Structure 1
Amino acid sequence: MKNKNIFFVGTTASNLYLFRKDFIVSCINKGYQVYALVSEYDDTWLEKIKSLGAVVITYELSRSGLNPFHDLKTLFQLKKIFSTYQPDIVFSFFTKPVIYGSFAARLSNVPNVVGMIEGLGSPFTEHPQGQLFKMKLVQFFQVSLYRVVFPFIDKIIFLNEDDPKDLVVSKKIYHRKNAIQVLGGIGLNLEDYPYSPWDISSNISFVIVARLLVEKGIYEYLAAAKIVKEKYPNVYFKIIGSLDTQNPSGLTQDELDNVIQSGVIEYKGFTNQIAEELKNSSVFVLPSYREGVPRSTQEAMAIGRPVITTDVPGCRDTVIDGVNGFLTPKWDVNALANKMMYFIEHPEQINIMGQESYKMARDKFDAEKVNIKLLRIMDICN
């Protein structure tokens, strides 16, 4: 009897490898042949995916485009692939793959269709100045397409409890009975982020790991850092992440250059050595406006760092306020600065709360435990 086939439908090859690697291996260990569909790639990442034992198939997808003809082309391309290979399970993640991958799977009579909504993204993210008309329009189209496709999906997986309320319940989107499932964070291999207490002889430093976008709270982080730096000049503030110059809500190169020249922050850029950077930092900060469940926060927790983040969907799933860090109101620069100064004035709390972060990461975000739960949700049994 031939192995059953499971198709992962994602976007970038690097993302699929970095965030789905452990689950791909779990599926292979269950006797499934894994096919990985990616739309943005280079040879290095394709080879990494193949090294796991998966078969890679490339397809065309415009992640952020609004051209319906391009999206229809994607739909029919995916349908052709599914009709050819006849998968037993199609597992799609991110907005467009969930919409078009799931629809194509149902048109191809795939018996088990699963979609994961890892976060509601920009169209559902509030901004202090209100939401742009374009984002309202994108939300309208997304919701309209979800109305079409959700009734065809066997399992619709969210990472936090708020997202299905804000999308499915609030928008009254019809779905199959018992289709909605909440996974929690997608998890990480704790061996890649070993627990390491902060060296109390080091200067205190704060770090954010994120793309430099408005929605990640980068401006709030910079403003709070400036306030704290004026009072405590020996404290360090680090930024790890890349500029997104194509995104209109991103930090510009000129803005970044000015901040670096001011001496307020140390800019590390993009790095593959996240664990080492987190180990060499005292406190992790993410003043995001909305998340699924942020992986960067999970990584910091695993290493044993306290977390300051916002009391918004996804972020609040990583912190018990006053136990492993602090939750602050979104957009509140002064509250953020005050919690930073708390750790400067009470440095003994860094390792105390960091230990609690590690315990939470071990209990909630261990990839082995998360993957077992995900396998059960997808009805992939022994």
Structure 2
Amino acid sequence: MKPSILCILHLPPPIHGAAVIGQYLHDSKSFNDTFDCHFINLTTADSLQDIGKGSFRKLWTYAKLLFNIAKSTKRYRPKLVYITPNTKGIGFYKDFIVIQLVKLSRRKIIVHFHNKGVEERQGKAFDNFLYKRFFNGIKVILLAKSLFQDIKKYVPMEDVYICPNGIASPLDEVNISQHHTNTPKLLFLSNLLIAKGVFTLLDALKKLKDCNCHFTCNLIGGETTEINSEKINQEILSRGLNHNVFYKGSKYGKDKEEEFAAANIFVFPTHSDCFPLVLLEAMQHKLPCISTIEGGIPNIIDDGKTGFVVLKKDPDVLANKIKYLLDHPEERRIMGENGYKKYEQQFTLSHFENNIIRCLTKELFNN
């Protein structure tokens, strides 16, 4: 008989890293063949613009969520409850109540963090009070060992599992012949948030343009309350980059694959991240990656081998690394090949499925 697991996780919409991984688990044959799974969607937002906003509809959705959790823990009596909570802010306060509700049922709990921020907030008396109760008696899955720093005040390392994310292969074979073009093409792909470093990228690209570097850059991603299409186009124009940088909106499926296939370099100068799936996608498409020393990113990019990691919010260093790859096409090809090999060895969906099954199985039989 398969052990019963109640999975309280994010499912799209909206589309973001935690929701993508949640959908993978929901649809995974190996995961569902191993466990008797019951799924509850932790998401209360309908869109990216809806995240962080309060409304009567969201309050009602949250009330129904709590009722569903209470009913499911009683009905299914799961051996383990797997939850993907937020680490800070309103999202954490909401998920804190979820955790306390599950604790009342005396079920074993394991949380899987797809974001970070505990260390940032632990100095606040109220948050520290909640964190102590939140982490008491539960186990934690992190995406990289380097992320332990974020929670080490509350959780010993022996209560932590490490499980890097993985992604599915594209539905169609990727045509990489377009990588070799006269004018190198840069690609940035993320929801339009200041914390994803899109303005830092624009500042770096202005420096490159002022040095007469030849390039184009496509910005791909959904509009948010912080940055809409009008705002991003204004920022592009104000830097004189309107002939080099183009905002293309959201892209999914084949359209997104074509953007990766047409690019030569992937740039993601995020200020706040955990383990960005988009870097795995770029490696999957044999692109050298430039990102930041942030979260688990140094565990994804091997600096100088599969790309570069740079300091956050430093357009000068970012511009220098981009220029190096613009000037060295053979080096970027080699880095792209190295990145693809690392993706194949560590970050495929099957690797992730095997790792998460291993973590949950070990916890199920850990007395």
Classify 1:305/1:142 alpha carbon distance in 2 versus 1 (closer, same or farther; 3 Å): farther
Q: Does 1:335 align with 2:317?
A: yes
State whether residues 12 and 41 of structure 1, in contact with CA within 8 Å, keep that contact through their aligned partners in structure 2.
no
Classify 1:234/1:312 alpha carbon distance in 2 versus 1 (closer, same or farther; 3 Å): same
State whether residues 206 and 282 of structure 1, in contact with CA within 8 Å, keep that contact through their aligned partners in structure 2.
yes
> What are structure 2's unaligned runs of at least 5 residues?
87-91
Q: Deviations over 1:238-265 (max 9, x none)?
A: 11112211xxxx3355431323544141
Q: 1:71 offset after TM fit, Å?
A: 11
Query: In structure 2, which of residues 222, 235, 243 is the aligned counterpart of residue 242 of structure 1?
Result: 222
Q: Does 1:216 align with 2:212?
A: no
Classify 1:379/1:139 alpha carbon distance in 2 versus 1 (closer, same or farther; 3 Å): farther
State whether residues 284 and 307 of structure 1, in contact with CA within 8 Å, keep that contact through their aligned partners in structure 2.
yes
> What are structure 1's unaligned runs of at least 5 residues?
43-60, 126-135
Amino acid at match of 1:342: Y
State whether residues 79 and 105 of structure 1, in contact with CA within 8 Å, keep that contact through their aligned partners in structure 2.
yes
State whether residues 10 and 22 of structure 2, in contact with CA within 8 Å, keep that contact through their aligned partners in structure 1.
no
Task: Quote the residue 1:163 is aligned against.
Answer: 147
Q: 1:348 offset after TM fit, Å?
A: 1.6
Q: 1:140 offset after TM fit, Å?
A: 5.4
Classify 1:142/1:192 alpha carbon distance in 2 versus 1 (closer, same or farther; 3 Å): farther
Q: Does 1:374 align with 2:341?
A: no
Query: In structure 2, which of residues 180, 185, 203 is the aligned counterpart of residue 200 of structure 1?
Result: 180
Classify 1:329/1:31 alpha carbon distance in 2 versus 1 (closer, same or farther; 3 Å): closer
State whether residues 124 and 139 of structure 1, in contact with CA within 8 Å, keep that contact through their aligned partners in structure 2.
no
Task: Quote the residue 1:182 is aligned against.
Answer: 162
State whether residues 286 and 337 of structure 2, in contact with CA within 8 Å, keep that contact through their aligned partners in structure 1.
yes
Amino acid at match of 1:208: F
State whether residues 92 and 98 of structure 1, in contact with CA within 8 Å, keep that contact through their aligned partners in structure 2.
no
Q: 1:274 offset after TM fit, Å?
A: 2.4
Q: Whole-Å Cα distance in 2 between the matches of residues 376 and 159 of structure 1?
A: 14
Query: In structure 2, which of residues 47, 59, 80 is the aligned counterpart of residue 89 of structure 1?
Result: 80
Q: 1:87 offset after TM fit, Å?
A: 2.4
Q: 1:269 offset after TM fit, Å?
A: 1.0
1:171-320 to 2 correspondence within 5 Å?
172-174=153-155, 178-184=158-164, 186-192=165-171, 197=176, 199-232=179-212, 234-245=214-225, 250-251=226-227, 253-261=229-237, 262=240, 263=242, 264-272=244-252, 273-320=255-302
Q: Whole-Å Cα distance in 2 between the matches of residues 18 and 189 of structure 1?
A: 10
Instruction: Give the 3-state SS of the residue equivalent to 1:251 in structure 2.
Output: coil
Bigger shift: residues 331-340 or 140-149? 140-149
Classify 1:144/1:207 alpha carbon distance in 2 versus 1 (closer, same or farther; 3 Å): farther
Q: 1:115 offset after TM fit, Å?
A: 0.5
| Aligned-residue RMSD, C-alpha | 3.3
Classify 1:347/1:104 alpha carbon distance in 2 versus 1 (closer, same or farther; 3 Å): same
Task: Quote the residue 1:144 is aligned against.
Answer: 129
Kindly tell me the number of residue pairs found equivalent between the two proteins.
340
Q: Whole-Å Cα distance in 2 between the matches of residues 269 and 308 of structure 1?
A: 21
Q: Whole-Å Cα distance in 1 between the matches of residues 345 and 279 of structure 2?
A: 14
Instruction: Give the 3-state SS of the residue equivalent to 1:269 in structure 2.
Output: coil
Q: Deviations over 1:137-172 (max 9, x none)?
A: 99655443231021231x3011122322132x2xx2
Instruction: Give the 3-state SS of the residue equivalent to 1:83 in structure 2.
Output: helix
What TM-score, normalized by structure 1, do the two folds share?
0.78
